Chains A and B, each alone.
Chain A
Amino acid sequence: MLARALPLVVLIAAGIYLSLAIKLPYGATARPGAGFYPTLVAVFACLVGLVAAAQAFFAPRPARAVVAADAELPGARRRVFSTVGALAVSCFVLPWIGYVATAFLFVTVVLRALGSRWPAALVIGGVSAAVSFYLFAVLLDVPLPRGVW
Chain B
Amino acid sequence: MGPLEGIVYGFSVALTPTNVFACFIGVVVGTLVGVLPGIGPVGAMALLLPSTFALHPATALIMLAGIYYGAMYGGSTTSILVNVPGEAGSVVTLIDGYQMTRKGRAGAALAIAAVGSFVAGTIGVVGIMVAAAWLADLAVRFGPPEYFAITLGGLVLLSRLTGGSLVHAFIMVAIGLALGTVGMDSISALRRFTFGSVQLSQGVDLVPVIMGLYGVAEVLLLAEEGIRRASIATVRLREMLPTRLEWRQSAAPIARGSVVGFISGLVPGPAAVLSTFIAYAVEKKVSKTPERFGQGAVEGVAGPEAANNAATAGAMVPLLSLGIPFSPATAILLGALVIHGLNPGPLLISQRPEVFWGFIASMYIGNLMLLILNLPLVGMFVSVLRLPQHVLATLVLLLCLVGAYSLNNSFLDLWVLTIFGIFGYALRKLRVDPSPLVVALVLGPMMEKTLRQALFLTRGDIVELVSRPLTAAILILPAAALVVPPLVRLLRRGRSVAGDRAHEVAP
Contact = CB atoms under 8 A, between A and B. Distances in A.
Contacts, number: 192
Interface residues of B, number: 71
B455 A87 contact: no
Nearest to B222: A114
Given A79-B224, A83-B397, A140 B39 contact: yes
B425 A80 contact: yes
Given A45-B174, A116-B391, A34 B192 contact: yes
Interface string B11-47: 0000000000000000001001100100100011001
Given A38-B192, A63-B505, A84 B422 contact: yes
A77 B505 CA distance: 28
Nearest to B413: A91
Identify whether the interface residues of A are mostly helix, strand, loop, or mixed. Answer: helix
A59 interface: yes
Interface residues of A, number: 73
A73 B181 contact: no
B398 A103 contact: yes
A116 B187 CA distance: 51
B36 A124 contact: no
A139 interface: yes
Interface of B: 29, 32-33, 36, 39, 43-44, 47-48, 165, 167, 170-171, 173-175, 177-178, 181, 185, 187-188, 190, 192-193, 216, 219-220, 223-227, 390-391, 393-395, 397-399, 401-402, 405-406, 409, 411, 414-415, 417-418, 421-422, 425, 429-431, 444, 447-448, 451-452, 455-456, 459-462, 501, 505-506
17 contacts: A2-B430, A31-B460, A32-B456, A48-B174, A52-B167, A68-B429, A73-B226, A80-B224, A87-B397, A87-B421, A91-B418, A99-B402, A114-B223, A115-B226, A116-B227, A140-B39, A144-B402
Given A51-B170, A113-B223, 16 more contacts: A21-B181, A32-B451, A36-B452, A41-B177, A52-B167, A67-B430, A73-B225, A76-B223, A76-B224, A80-B224, A84-B418, A87-B397, A106-B401, A140-B406, A142-B402, A144-B406
